[in-house]
């Protein structure tokens, strides 16, 4: 993943196209492959390592480098992709965990419709 200053919302959470007409699943892309994303009014639950108000930062994870994000910045990026925040939760690390967890419940489109 590029340096923290150039992070963007993955195409998988951007509104895309509906293959096969309006009734098909909304599709985005990730690594050049189609992936489903919610229809207007659909929900997305984001779970991530939270940075406790520090900037986005990389850390060593078991499988590959991972990133800690400020919860407000993650909500802002999802908002820029067309999602509206419905709720958020922060969870302190449990025994054996290094970092706080952030969770955002997002809804695609205007929460007053649908």
Tokens of 51: 């940075």
SS (H, E, C) 26-57: EEEEECCEEEEECCCCCEEEEEEEECCCCCCE
pTM for the model stands at 0.65
pLDDT of residue 41: 82
Q: pLDDT tens digits, residue range 5-35?
A: 333 444 334 444 444 444 444 555 555 666 5
Domain spans of the chain, in order of start: 40-108
User: Has residue 84 got a pLDDT over 60?
Assistant: yes
Q: pLDDT tens digits, residue range 40-54?
A: 788 889 999 999 989
């Amino acid at each position: 993943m590029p340096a923290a200053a150039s992070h963007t919302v993955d195409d998988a959470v951007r509104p895309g196209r509906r293959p096969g007409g309006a009734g098909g699943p909304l599709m985005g892309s990730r690594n050049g492959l189609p992936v489903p994303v919610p229809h207007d009014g659909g929900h997305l639950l984001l779970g991530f390592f939270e940075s406790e108000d520090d900037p986005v930062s990389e850390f060593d994870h078991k499988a590959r480098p991972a990133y800690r994000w400020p919860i407000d910045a993650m909500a802002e990026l999802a908002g820029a992709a067309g999602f509206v925040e419905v709720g958020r939760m922060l969870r302190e690390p449990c025994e054996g965990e290094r970092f706080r967890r952030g969770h955002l419940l997002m809804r695609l489109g205007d929460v007053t419709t649908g």
